Structure 1
Amino acid sequence: MHDIRLIRDDPAAFDAALARRGVEAAASHILAIDEQRRSVATRLQEMQNRRNEASKLIGAAMGKGDKETAEALKAEVAQIKEALPTLEAEDRQHDEALRAELARLPNLPAADAPDGSDEDENVEVARWGTPRTFAFQPKEHADLGPALGLDFETGAAIAGARFTFLKGAMARLHRALGQFMLDTQSGENGFLECAPPLLVKDDAVFGTGQLPKFADDLFHTTDGRWLIPTAEVSLTNSVREQILDPGALPLRMTALTPCFRSEAGAAGRDTRGFIRQHQFEKVELVTVCKPEESEAEHERMVSAAESILQALELPYRKMLLCTGDMGASARKTFDLEVWLPGQNAYREISSVSNCGDWQARRMNTRFKPEGSKRTEFVHTLNGSGLAVGRTLVAVLENYQDEDGSVRVPDVLRPWMGGIERLEFDYELALGFRRW
């Protein structure tokens, strides 16, 4: 959501910022709606004031015995009361139209977000780690995983495409990754562990920006709720419609949850393997802070995500996204891309975004600075710390050996119950179930 005052003050600058995102100029249309809204609001206020004034004058006229004046005033008040509902409805209509226009537009990019139209114009900021040199041709996880318990066929048979059934040590490794990430983010990186709802109402997905534009990317229940595409929705909306204590900021929250995405906008992409699923788990990081803190908090959150990859000794690169590749809610985004030797490519494993006050305006989340009588909107940030399934893919491909086994990273062994290696299992390879 955008601040209408900023558009009024400098419509050309607003349109120029939208153009950086490839969005057509909108200031003129928005200001026309705003002018209509303000005109109606002024008329409405004037009529309400006159009604109140006339009502008082009626009593004064009656007290003086001036029945003729009193009756004329009563007739005027009756006319105003009759006209008010129509004008109030018109006022609501213009309010809703303005809100809809402001809500449909993406966030304005930060000044230091690089211009560009797509992912090819993202900017590499740094690299960490050296990709392993293999004495054999490393396999992709989709070829390596089935013999170790990554069962694509059973998942598809039960639920359809983009669902996977994990078995045995593979399921244990997936759980270990999630627990390790959550413990690290809550224990070492200072994020408050939360267990939020997985089903949310319309207001929640509107607040973080998935509605109305991206409804097709979500799963909708028969009772009108939405399955969360990420815990960002639940965590960020935990402060909706609140005026926060400035002394409590920044708020840093984390959660490990299942996530659900229809992937409507990704048809045909990553249909093979475990990269892009309808159901997956992710450790989410969310920060709510004062505006002057958000840049530093952004860097802090990126470092928190990087700490997981470094602990797992997975090579990665840090990318600053261009204006054409950022999500709609973001003003600035860093992606972390992990090295996958089976694909001989870096692939996204975390995206950490600073949303400025764009989400806060949609949620009406504010704070009152010390010494100020007026409230300000907070800034919100979110990111993955990390996507569990994609991290599992990275571990499988980076820790594989020529015999098809996979070594468990040292840092995960406390969660693995003594399992140090995922090895070929004849029954799992054939799809047999051992209950």
Structure 2
Amino acid sequence: MHDIKYIRDNPEDFDAALAKRGVEAVAAQILALDEQSRALKTQLQDGQARRNEASKAIGKAKGEGDEETAQALMTEVADLKSKLPGIEDKEREASGRLQDILAALPNLPADGVPLGADEDDNVKIGRWGEPRVFDFTAREHSDIGPALGLDFETAAAMSGSRFAFLRGQMARLQRAIGQFMLDQQTMTNGFEECAPPVLVRDHAMFGTGQLPKFSEDSFQTTDGHWLIPTAEVSLTNSVHGQILDEAQLPIRLTALTPCFRSEAGSAGKDTKGLIRQHQFEKVEMVAIVHPDHSDAEHERMTEAAESILKALELPYRKMLLCTGDMGATARKTYDLEVWLPGQDTYREISSISTCGEYQARRMNARFRPEGEEKGTRFVHTLNGSGLAVGRTLVAILENYQQADGSVTIPPALLPYMAGIEKLEPA
């Protein structure tokens, strides 16, 4: 959500910033609705004040025996009572249209975010690790996995496409990855572990920006709940509607949860394997911070995600997303892309975004600066994957594969594998 005061004071800057994200000029329309809404509000308030004033004057006029004045006042009150509901309806309509426009607009990009239309315009800003040199032809995880317990056929029979059924040693490896990530984020990187709901209501999805524009990307139950597309929704909304003390900041939360995405509009994309599933697990990081510290927190969270890849010895590169490839709620986003030798390419495994006060305004999440009794400010929110468990599993299968079809376990995961050092083909 955007600050209407900023738009009133900086309409041209607002339009210029949105233009970087491919959005046509909209400030004039917003300001016209804002002016209409404020004028109707003033008219309504003046009418209500006059109605109350006239109502009180009726009794006084009658007490003084001035029936003519009393009758005139009664006529005026009756006229106001008939007109005010119509003014109220018009104000509600104008205000609703204004809020709908503001809610549908993406966040304004931060300074330094590169201009661009899509992922081809993202900028590489770093790389870590050297891709392994194989003495055999590296295979994709979807070719390696079935003999190791990655069962797509059983999942398809019961659930359709974009689901997986993991068995035995493969299921154990997935669990080990998630547990290792949680331990790393809590014990090393300072996040508090949470176990949040995976079913949420409309206001939670609206708060983090999934609604109203991206409803088709998520699954909704018959009773109106939504299955979370990411634990960002649950974790960020933990401060929904709250006024925090400045001393409570920063709040750093993490959770390992199932995530559910309809993948609307992704027909034909990544149809093989685990890359793009309807159901998957992810360790999510969320930070709620003082506005002055959000840029530094963005770098810190990115390092927290990178620490997982380094510990697993998975080569990756760090990308700064361009304006056309960022998510709607983000001001600035880093993507970490892991090397997949079977596909001979880097693929996204984590996105870490700073959202400024965009989500906080939607959630009405604020803090009271130290020493101030009345004034409040909106918090800043950040989120990122630390990491996507399924994609990490893919990266391990492809980077640690052996010529005989087995997959060695990265040293960092051995304490979680109950003595299993290698996945062996059935």
TM-score by length of 1: 0.96
Alpha-carbon distance between aligned partners in 2 of 1:294 and 1:55, rounded to the nearest angstrom: 53
Q: Which residue of 1 aligns with 2:383?
A: 382
Give the residue type in structure 2 aligned to 1:343. Answer: Q
Q: Which residue of 1 aligns with 2:290?
A: 290
Alpha-carbon distance between aligned partners in 1 of 2:83 and 2:368, rounded to the nearest angstrom: 39
Give the C-alpha shift of residue 63 in structure 1: 4.1
Give the residue type in structure 1 aligned to 2:356. Answer: G
Q: Which residue of 2 aligns with 1:396?
A: 397
Q: Which residue of 2 aligns with 1:429?
A: none
Q: Which residue of 2 aligns with 1:139?
A: 139
Alpha-carbon distance between aligned partners in 2 of 1:295 and 1:59, rounded to the nearest angstrom: 62
For residue 339 of structure 1, give the secondary structure of its aligned residue in structure 2: strand
CA 1:370 to 1:70, structure 2 compared with 1: closer, same or farther past 3 Å?
farther
Give the C-alpha shift of residue 84 in structure 1: 1.6
Please list every run of 5 or more consecutive structure 2 residues that lacks an aligned counterpart in the other structure. Answer: none
Tell me the percent identity.
69
For residue 286 of structure 1, give the secondary structure of its aligned residue in structure 2: strand
Please list every run of 5 or more consecutive structure 1 residues that lacks an aligned counterpart in the other structure. Answer: 426-435
For residue 238 of structure 1, give the secondary structure of its aligned residue in structure 2: helix
Report 1:7-18 matches (<5 A).
7-18=7-18
Report 1:30-429 matches (<5 A).
30-372=30-372, 373-425=374-426
For residue 343 of structure 2, give the secondary structure of its aligned residue in structure 1: coil
Q: What is the total number of aligned residue pairs between the two structures?
A: 425
Give the residue type in structure 1 aligned to 2:418. Answer: G
Give the residue type in structure 1 aligned to 2:369. Answer: P
Alpha-carbon distance between aligned partners in 2 of 1:344 and 1:97, rounded to the nearest angstrom: 48
Alpha-carbon distance between aligned partners in 1 of 2:155 and 2:279, rounded to the nearest angstrom: 11
Of 44-53 and 405-414, the range deviating more from structure 2: 44-53
- 1:281-333 CA-to-partner distances (Å, cap 9, x unmatched) read 00000111111111011111101101110110111111000000000010100
Alpha-carbon distance between aligned partners in 2 of 1:52 and 1:303, rounded to the nearest angstrom: 61
Indicate if the aligned counterparts of 2:113 and 2:320 stay in contact, CA closer than 8 A: yes
Alpha-carbon distance between aligned partners in 1 of 2:163 and 2:256, rounded to the nearest angstrom: 19
Give the residue type in structure 1 aligned to 2:61. Answer: A
For residue 247 of structure 1, give the secondary structure of its aligned residue in structure 2: helix
- 1:19-60 CA-to-partner distances (Å, cap 9, x unmatched) read 100111111111111111111111011111212222333343
Alpha-carbon distance between aligned partners in 1 of 2:369 and 2:57, rounded to the nearest angstrom: 43
Alpha-carbon distance between aligned partners in 2 of 1:247 and 1:161, rounded to the nearest angstrom: 48
Structure 1 residue ranges, 4+ long, deviating more than 4 angstroms after superposition: none
Alpha-carbon distance between aligned partners in 2 of 1:254 and 1:41, rounded to the nearest angstrom: 43
Alpha-carbon distance between aligned partners in 2 of 1:127 and 1:20, rounded to the nearest angstrom: 27
For residue 239 of structure 2, give the secondary structure of its aligned residue in structure 1: coil
Alpha-carbon distance between aligned partners in 1 of 2:290 and 2:60, rounded to the nearest angstrom: 52
Of 71-80 and 112-121, the range deviating more from structure 2: 71-80
Give the C-alpha shift of residue 4 in structure 1: 0.9
